[in-house]
């Protein structure tokens, strides 16, 4: 493994080279944070692979230093090595993209956060007390339709892999159930919320969500590896294939790369890569995408787990790490991919990690250890940090079917 201006021994034959494009000792512009632990990142990737992921990647941007680390395979059949620049499906990280569009409309005076959501929808939700803010903060009480859709992981996926839904069809699947609570009460993660927001954006503007993403986010930031191709099923360029684990873990992994992701749309169908995700979240917290008042709303976090290490704002997650720093971003799960994409409050250090599997809660939790390595400079596989993370309430639930507990 070769790194410019320094060197690091290869860790295991499955590891792919880590590349740093500037000397981290000189270029790191976040002096209040420890240097990232590259050995810690690689140890986490190795553990994720031992627990069932075909491969993993991480990119850290810290000042002018760029760290790219990858392990294992991007394609199991072809034997293609993983590398940190590959595109992948980001799952629920898409929710932060949708929130940016929505908050820009708020700043333009076209949507009011505290108005009833029904003011902006072509067909009313059952409860007029649900506000736009409730949707963004997962406090609407709307049942998550994916609990039914993916109760059986692989059969559920195969049933919708090539299906194309309207927003309203997905919302109707949700509202066929009683609400999980009253609007504004307890946090309850639900993909339905962001499907409603996608419909709201399109109904309010008359412009497809794909165009909104492109004109408001992708083009202004120069995100050339980020796209929203729904309902097309393929990824283009250099990408990692995704592999979902069956509920019967004795069965082989299922290649889930090609799918419409129509079951998620504005809740989870964006495609990106680690570089673009880091640029996106750094730009977001730095005020390049959302006006100050709306950014404050997004970054006003409320704890959502017992030890208060995890929190949620408006379309934005917060993680309080063992070294005391809170990072902002989102996690993502879509069939075949787990993603963590987070940045510091000042945007000076950002990290995106992906493992190309899903329906494997152990891998999901282990991959979260790259946050500790990237921002706290620790090897979480050798400290209490990873075990501490593993006991957090929300780490055992996935962004798909959040009320169906799997490990």
Q: Is residue 52 within 8 Å of 357, Cβ to Cβ?
A: yes
CA–CA gap between residue 235 and residue 240 (Å, rounded)? 9
CA–CA gap between residue 74 and residue 83 (Å, rounded)? 8
Bridge-partner residues for 81, per DSSP? Answer: 73
Q: Is residue 40 within 8 Å of 380, Cβ to Cβ?
A: yes
CA–CA gap between residue 71 and residue 53 (Å, rounded)? 10
CA–CA gap between residue 342 and residue 205 (Å, rounded)? 29
Cα atoms in the 13 Å half-sphere on the side-chain side of 398: 29
92 in catalytic set? yes
Cis peptide leading into residue 107 (ω within 30°):
no
Give the number of other Cβ atoms within 10 Å of residue 392's Cβ.
18
The one catalytic residue among 37, 62, 71, 92: 92
CA dihedral sign, ordered 181, 339, 169, 193: positive
Q: Is residue 149 within 8 Å of 172, Cβ to Cβ?
A: no
Identify the H or E element spanning 363.
helix 361-367
Residue found under tokens 């993370």: 389
Q: Which residues of 145-182 are buried (b: 16+ CB within 10 A; e: fewer)?
A: bbbbbbeebbebbeebbeeebebeebbebbbeeebbee
CA–CA gap between residue 209 and residue 265 (Å, rounded)? 9
- Tokens at residue 331, please? 């996690």
Cα atoms in the 13 Å half-sphere on the side-chain side of 395: 22
Residue found under tokens 């740093």: 20
CA–CA gap between residue 348 and residue 30 (Å, rounded)? 6
Q: Is residue 317 within 8 Å of 21, Cβ to Cβ?
A: no
Catalytic site positions: 92
């Amino acid at each position: 493994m070769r790194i410019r201006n320094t060197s690091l021994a290869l860790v295991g034959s499955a590891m792919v080279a880590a590349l740093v494009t500037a000397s981290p000792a000189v270029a790191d512009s976040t002096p209040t944070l420890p240097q990232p632990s590259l050995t810690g990142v690689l140890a986490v990737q190795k553990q994720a692979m031992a627990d069932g992921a075909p491969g993993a990647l991480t990119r850290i941007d810290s000042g002018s230093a760029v760290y790219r680390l990858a392990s294992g395979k991007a394609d199991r059949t072809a034997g293609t090595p993983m590398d940190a620049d590959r595109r992948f499906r980001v799952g629920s990280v898409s929710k932060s993209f949708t929130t940016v569009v929505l908050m820009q409309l708020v700043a333009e005076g076209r949507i009011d956060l505290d108005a009833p959501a029904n003011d902006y929808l072509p067909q009313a939700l059952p409860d007029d007390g649900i506000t736009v803010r409730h949707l963004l903060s997962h406090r609407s009480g709307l049942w998550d339709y994916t609990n039914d859709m993916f109760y059986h992981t692989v059969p559920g996926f195969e049933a919708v892999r090539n299906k194309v839904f309207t927003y309203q069809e997905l919302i109707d699947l949700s509202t066929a159930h009683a609400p999980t609570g009253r609007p504004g009460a307890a946090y309850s993660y639900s993909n339905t919320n962001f499907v409603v927001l996608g419909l709201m954006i399109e109904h309010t503007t008359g412009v497809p969500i794909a165009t909104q993403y492109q004109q408001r986010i992708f083009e202004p930031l120069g995100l050339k590896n980020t796209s929203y191709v729904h309902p097309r099923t393929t990824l283009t360029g250099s990408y990692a294939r995704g592999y979902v684990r069956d509920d019967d873990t004795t069965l082989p992994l299922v290649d889930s790369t090609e799918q419409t992701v129509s079951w998620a749309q504005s809740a989870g169908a964006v495609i990106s890569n680690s570089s673009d995700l880091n640029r996106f979240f750094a730009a977001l917290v730095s005020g390049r995408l959302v006006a100050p008042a709306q950014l404050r709303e997004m970054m006003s976090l409320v704890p959502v787990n017992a030890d208060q290490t995890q929190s949620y704002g408006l379309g934005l997650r917060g993680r309080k790490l063992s070294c005391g720093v809170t990072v902002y971003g989102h996690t993502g799960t879509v069939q075949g991919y787990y993603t963590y994409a987070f940045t510091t409050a000042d945007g000076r250090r950002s990290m995106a990690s992906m493992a190309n599997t899903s329906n494997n809660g152990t891998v999901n939790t282990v991959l979260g250890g790259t946050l500790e390595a990237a921002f706290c400079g620790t090897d979480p596989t050798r400290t209490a940090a990873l075990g501490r993370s593993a006991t957090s309430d929300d780490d055992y639930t996935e962004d798909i079917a959040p009320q169906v507990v799997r490990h």
